[in-house]
């Protein structure tokens, strides 16, 4: 068995589970939900096995009398267990009773929302900090606190290392493998999504090749706000019999149910006078390695700008987009730990954009991502413009880049290597 890798969500669980009766760990297959939950479980029911699923259906009272905490793994296989847990927590609201893990939202199941009884925590593939390739010296939580002081740190992590992190995956079971085995596992993961997971969610895919092409087109749109019609056209060039828009929206919905999309929504300011803001989300798959594999990208081809494929209104090579995806994966993990949200800022015509806004209450940190070993004035003009608009409401400004040194510019913008940013 692989040695357990401590996750950032472990700290959230340690803080929350003592006071909450039930927590659901949600995320795609392979992110380590079960391994994390097992660190705390006294009793485990694996509902993807016939024996345990039949036991719970036949004797649901087992949940109430089993030694706590109880882990219910792949709970969506027996959706009615959700309501059983809800009723148990109604009878006894003491903390630390139930952990549920699920890799899909049950399609069409008539279950209670669980609001007020079952709290959901998202788990993602390993962030850069969790991969322990470097010790983080700059805290996103600290930036949100608004200290505004100097940022420090130096790293030997360079572009080639980030490329290997993109290609090598953040799935704990895939990352330690040799490169060829990583590729085989990622190919198998994608095939299972197309051939099995969609069917289990109640959607029969009549043309698997078209779904695979659509997934590749979506992967090519990583980090962009490309419309779904643009993605569809890219997936089916020259085909007169294209899937309908409803079909492709169903693709998106099923992938969301499987936690395989991790789109970053557009920022909607409250009480601020901004006009002409874009509303489209930025597109990201759960793991940049899935996007790279769908596009057939290897370490060598990713470093070759002549072989880049790009969809969407923003310029840049696919390497820049995948580097942004790696940073996005990490930011989403760190922000959750700080009880913050992540969005992006873009005007409709694209004349002003900021890659990410991390917000906690009234505190906002604007973050640009640059695939570069240096940061110049042109790289910070959008965050400085946003500072002029928001004033003190913008707590800090950051450029995350692929260089080696963390520092703060004279204009107040913090420049931070991706490997040195942590929760």
> What is the rounded CA–CA span in Å between residue 217 and residue 420?
32
Q: Which two tokens stand for residue 194?
A: 């197309």
Which residue would you say has higher pLDDT here, 270 or 54?
A: 54
Residue 374 reports pLDDT greater than 90 = yes
Q: Which residues pair with 73 in a beta bridge?
A: 46, 101
What is the structure's pLDDT at 244? Answer: 80
Closest by CA to 413, choosing from 141, 145, 151, is 151
Closest by CA to 277, choosing from 353, 389, 391, is 353
Residue 407 reports pLDDT greater than 80 = yes
What is the structure's pLDDT at 61? Answer: 87
Cβ contacts of 87 within 8 Å, gap of 6 or more: none
> What is the rounded CA–CA span in Å between residue 102 and residue 397?
36
Q: Which residues pair with 96 in a beta bridge?
A: none
Q: How does DSSP assign 2-34, residue by residue?
A: PPPPP-HHHHHHHHHTTT-SEEEEE--TTSSHH
pLDDT band of residue 277 (cuts 50, 70, 90) is confident
> What is the rounded CA–CA span in Å between residue 289 and residue 39?
27
3-state secondary structure of 92: coil
What is the structure's pLDDT at 271? Answer: 56
Q: How does DSSP assign 216-229, residue by residue?
A: HHHHHTTTS---HH
3-state secondary structure of 182: helix
CB atoms within 10 A of CB 131: 17
Q: Which of 147-156, 228-237, 341-350 has the lowest mean pLDDT?
A: 228-237
Please report where in the chains the tokens 């470093």 appear, as a residue: 303
Q: Given strand 98-102, what is the order of strands in its sheet?
A: 43-46, 70-73, 98-102, 22-26, 118-122
Q: Given strand 394-401, what is the order of strands in its sheet?
A: 341-346, 353-360, 363-370, 394-401, 414-417, 407-408
> Chain-wide mean pLDDT for the chain?
90
Q: Which residues pair with 346 in a beta bridge?
A: 353
Q: Which two tokens stand for residue 259?
A: 């936690």
HSE value, Cβ hemisphere, 13 Å, CA-based, for 217 = 22
| Average of per-residue pLDDT across 318-338 | 97
What is the structure's pLDDT at 308? Answer: 58
Cα distances (Å, whole numbers) of residue 144 to 141, 149, 323, 390, 421: 5, 12, 23, 15, 13
Residue 296 reports pLDDT greater than 70 = yes
Q: Which of 33-42, 94-103, 240-249, 321-330 has the lowest mean pLDDT?
A: 240-249
211 secondary structure, DSSP code: H
What is the structure's pLDDT at 192? Answer: 95
Q: Which two tokens stand for residue 78?
A: 């027996």
Residue 264 reports pLDDT greater than 90 = yes
Preceding peptide of 69 cis, ω within 30°: yes
Closest by CA to 236, choosing from 212, 216, 210, is 210
Cβ contacts of 116 within 8 Å, gap of 6 or more: none
Q: CATH 3.40.50.300 region(s) of the chain? A: 8-122
Say what the alpha-carbon torsion angle 105, 106, 112, 116 is, to the nearest 10 degrees: -20
What is the structure's pLDDT at 134? Answer: 97
Q: For 27, left (φ over 0), alpha (ψ -120 to 50), or beta?
A: left
pLDDT tens-digit map of 187-246:
999 999 999 999 988 888 888 988 999 999 999 999 999 888 888 888 877 766 777 888
CATH of segment(s) 8-122: 3.40.50.300
pTM of the model: 0.93
What is the structure's pLDDT at 312? Answer: 60
> What is the rounded CA–CA span in Å between residue 212 and residue 294?
8
CB atoms within 10 A of CB 176: 13
């Amino acid at each position: 068995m692989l040695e357990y890798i401590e996750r950032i969500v472990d700290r959230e669980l340690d803080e929350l589970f003592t006071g909450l009766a039930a927590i659901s760990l949600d995320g795609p297959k392979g992110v380590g939900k079960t391994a994390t939950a097992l660190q705390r479980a006294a009793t485990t029911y694996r509902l993807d096995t016939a024996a345990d699923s039949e036991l719970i259906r036949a004797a649901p009272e087992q949940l109430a009398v089993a030694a706590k905490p109880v882990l219910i793994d792949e709970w969506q296989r027996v959706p009615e267990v959700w309501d059983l847990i809800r009723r148990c927590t109604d009878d006894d609201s003491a903390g630390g009773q139930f952990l549920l893990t699920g890799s899909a939202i049950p399609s069409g199941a008539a279950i209670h929302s669980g609001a007020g009884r079952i709290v959901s925590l998202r788990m993602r593939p390993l962030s850069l900090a969790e991969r322990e390739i470097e010790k983080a010296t700059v805290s996103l939580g600290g930036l949100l606190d608004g200290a505004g002081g100097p940022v420090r740190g130096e790293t030997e992590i360079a572009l080639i290392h980030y490329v290997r992190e993109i290609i090598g995956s953040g799935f704990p079971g895939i990352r330690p493998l040799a490169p060829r085995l990583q590729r085989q596992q990622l190919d198998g993961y994608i095939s299972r999504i197309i051939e099995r997971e969609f069917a289990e969610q109640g959607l029969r895919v009549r043309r698997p090749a078209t779904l695979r092409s659509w997934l590749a087109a979506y992967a090519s749109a990583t980090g962009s706000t490309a419309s779904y019609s643009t993605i569809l056209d890219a997936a089916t060039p020259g085909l007169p019999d294209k899937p309908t828009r409803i079909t492709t929206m169903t693709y998106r919905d099923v992938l969301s149910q499987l936690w395989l999309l991790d789109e970053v929504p557009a920022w909607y300011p409250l009480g601020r006078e901004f006009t002409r803001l874009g509303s489209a989300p930025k597109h990201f798959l759960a793991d940049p390695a899935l996007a790279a594999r769908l596009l057939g990208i290897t370490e060598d081809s990713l470093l070759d700008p002549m072989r880049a494929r790009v969809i969407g209104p923003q310029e840049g090579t696919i390497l820049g987009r995948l580097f942004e995806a790696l940073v996005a994966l990490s930011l989403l993990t760190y922000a959750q730990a700080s009880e913050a949200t992540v969005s992006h800022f873009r005007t409709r015509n694209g004349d002003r954009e900021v890659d990410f806004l991390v917000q906690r209450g009234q505190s906002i940190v604007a973050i640009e991502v640059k695939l570069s070993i240096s940061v110049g004035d042109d790289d910070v003009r959008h965050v400085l413009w946003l500072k002029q608009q928001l004033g003190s409401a913008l707590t800090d400004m950051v450029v995350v880049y692929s260089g080696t040194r963390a520092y703060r510019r004279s204009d107040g913008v913090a420049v931070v290597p991706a490997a040195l940013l942590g929760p």
